[in-house]
Amino acid sequence: MGFKKYSLLGWSDGGITAMIAAARNPELIKKMVVWGSNAFVSQDDLKLYNMVRDVSKWSARMRQPMEEVYGVQAFAKIWEDWVDGIAQFANRPEGSICMELLPLISCPTLIIHGEKDPMVPSFHPHYLHKNIKGSRLHLIPEGKHNLHLRYAEEFNKLVEDFLEE
């Protein structure tokens, strides 16, 4: 597209992708914002993932938008496959997804996290903040995994201010 530098925003697995891209291509990345992301899979994470494996037990509000996109049976299969796939990282040293890459991230980074995120426990954003040099951590006390939707105004202001600095 002709851009020499660009900023990355990544939610959840998209945040993992952004961190990997920022670590491997520091000359291309101006700034990065990640939320609901992690760099490793712990035993606590595995318990959480297995608790939400069966999408039929999810609330309709959480399940229906995905079922409308993928179909009821396809979404259930896609989600089970995701749980199985992410669980495999627990077999790597320290459960690393991209832990070893975090020190290579040199762009200004904003980490946003909902303190009530049921999918990504609060130790993850603190780990990212500690291991990404010069990063900032902003916690949203009532935020959950989809904080960018529920707290869109606050989230958008945070991101916009950060990117415009």
Residue-range domain boundaries for the chain:
6-40+96-164, 47-89
113 tagged catalytic: no
Q: What is the pLDDT of residue 165?
A: 95
The pLDDT tens digits for 105-163 are: 999 999 999 999 999 999 999 999 999 999 999 999 999 999 999 999 999 999 999 99
| Active site (annotated) includes residue 145 | yes
Catalytic option among 113, 138, 145, 148? 145
Q: Considering 37, 117, 135, 138, which one is annotated as catalytic?
A: 117
Given the residues 7, 12, 42, 106, the one annotated as active site: 12
- In this predicted model, which residue has the larger pLDDT, 28 or 3? 28
Which CATH code is given to the segment(s) 6-40+96-164? 3.40.50.1820
**In this structure, are residues 120 and 36 in contact, taking their beta carbons and an 8 Å threshold?**
yes
Strand order of the sheet with strand 29-35? Answer: 6-11, 29-35, 109-114, 136-140
* Residue 13 is a catalytic residue: no
Tell if the pTM clears 0.85, that is, is over it: yes
Residue 3 has pLDDT above 90, yes or no: no
